[in-house]
A and B are shown apart, each in its own frame.
Chain A
């Protein structure tokens, strides 16, 4: 079990559906991240939120829309996805972006997304 909780664990959706992935952490971390991971590949960064503000968008298509309602929650809204978007979506958090001290990111178990 990790301290970063993601729901749902599995999601199957059609290309016209709208769904959301959720991520929650109660470690007081102020940076939160979305990654996409394809099979046998490393995680690829999608978005970074720092103090609830979007600080990095890695040129992700607009069919992925992140939202950070508060410091503990991070959502990823999905709409009109393509089959190639099928992947494991990982959420991560780290302590304080303003700290110069190096801090590890802690990952959730991920949501395995399949687009039909």
Chain B
């Protein structure tokens, strides 16, 4: 079976750093993806990890530990426009399906 957990809500201040955690339990693993979704809009692909370690893309970084079933998304120099939901999704190795977590709603305050 599949189980993906993320915090439901987080708040942070403009200019700060925030880390959004994701833990997963899957029968087969073939990559972990992070998406950003603003209210009423499409999910936008941010990053993915298939091997252990840190992937950096500008203000966003994502980390994966396959042995621990753990990932995090790190957002630096927060901006008001970063207020959105952040979805962690795991690709199942056997079915190729993308299984989404419930998402973390981030609010950035001035």
C-alpha spacing A97/B96, complex, angstroms: 8
Partner of B48 from A2, A40, A102 at Cβ < 8 Å: A102
Look across to chain B and name the residue whose beta carbon is closest to the beta carbon of A97: B96
CB of A110 within 8 Å of the partner chain: yes
Q: Given A45-B97, A48-B97, are A105 and B45 neighbors across the interface (CB < 8 Å)? A: yes
Contact with A along B88-110 (1 / 0, CB 8 A): 01010001111011110100000
Partner of B42 from A42, A44, A56, A107 at Cβ < 8 Å: A107
Residues of A within 8 A of B89 (CB): 42
Partner of B97 from A42, A56, A90 at Cβ < 8 Å: A56
Is there an interface contact between B42 and A2, defined as CB atoms closer than 8 Å?
A: yes
**In the assembled complex, how far is the CB of residue B102 from the closest CB belonging to chain A, in whole angstroms?**
6
Among B62-101, those with CB < 8 Å from A are 87, 89, 91, 95-98, 100-101
Look across to chain B and name the residue whose beta carbon is closest to the beta carbon of A104: B45
Interface residues of B, CB < 8 Å — how many?
Answer: 24
Interface residues of A, CB < 8 Å — how many?
Answer: 22
Is there an interface contact between A90 and B102, defined as CB atoms closer than 8 Å?
A: no
Q: Given A56-B95, A102-B30, are A108 and B101 neighbors across the interface (CB < 8 Å)? A: no
Look across to chain B and name the residue whose beta carbon is closest to the beta carbon of A4: B42
Among A39-63, those with CB < 8 Å from B are 40-45, 48, 56
Contact with B along A74-93 (1 / 0, CB 8 A): 00000000000000101000
Look across to chain A and name the residue whose beta carbon is closest to the beta carbon of B46: A104
Look across to chain A and name the residue whose beta carbon is closest to the beta carbon of B47: A104
Residues of A within 8 A of B41 (CB): 109-110
Partner of B33 from A2, A4, A48, A104 at Cβ < 8 Å: A104
Residues of A within 8 A of B (CB): 2, 4, 40-45, 48, 56, 88, 90, 97, 102, 104-110, 112
Residues of B within 8 A of A (CB): 30-31, 33, 35, 40-45, 48, 50, 87, 89, 91, 95-98, 100-103, 105
